Amino acid sequence: MLPFGLGGKSLEKMLKKAGIKMYEIADAKRVIIETEEERIVIEQPKVIEIEVPGSAKAYQVIAQDVRVEKIEREGASVIEISDEDVKIVAEETGCSEEVARKALEETKGDIAEAILKLQESGC
């Protein structure tokens, strides 16, 4: 039940009187939101389109399957390497944390790939 005792039918009637139309986009497969630094990907969302007279359309997205991807720009690295990841790679390979961090940056944060790379090439 919605706030103020409004159930689905009561709310639907109130919105209709105000001229607001709501539609579910039943076949929505994915919603993608991009910022300068990341891409938020929502798979199998429930999407409601809301039309308000004299206004732009609005969309409500309800998500369960969400992933956030970092966006790499040419000439700039936006991959964040945690100190914990650096310590793991350094401990597993016996390399310094500086070398471990560089390997993680080169492998775009992939811990396993960084370890293998350092084990093959040495510190």
Q: Which residue has the higher pLDDT, 77 or 74?
A: 74
Domain contains 106: yes
Domain contains 2: no
pLDDT tens digit sequence for 11-52: 778 888 889 998 899 999 999 999 988 889 999 999 999 998
How many independent structural domains does the chain possess? 2
Residue 88: which domain range? 83-121
Domain contains 78: no
Confidence of residue 99 (pLDDT cuts 50, 70, 90): very high
Q: Are residues 59 and 17 in the same domain?
A: yes
Q: Are residues 41 and 93 in the same domain?
A: no
Q: Are residues 48 and 98 in the same domain?
A: no
Contact 81, 104 (CB under 8 A): yes
Q: Are residues 55 and 16 in the same domain?
A: yes
Confidence of residue 75 (pLDDT cuts 50, 70, 90): low
Q: Is the pLDDT of residue 2 over 50?
A: no
pTM passes above 0.85: no
Domain contains 77: no
Please state, in angstroms and rounded to a whole number, the distance separating the CA atoms of residues 26 and 48: 9
DSSP state string for 100-116: HHHHHHHTTT-HHHHHH
Q: Are residues 13 and 64 in the same domain?
A: yes
Domain contains 109: yes
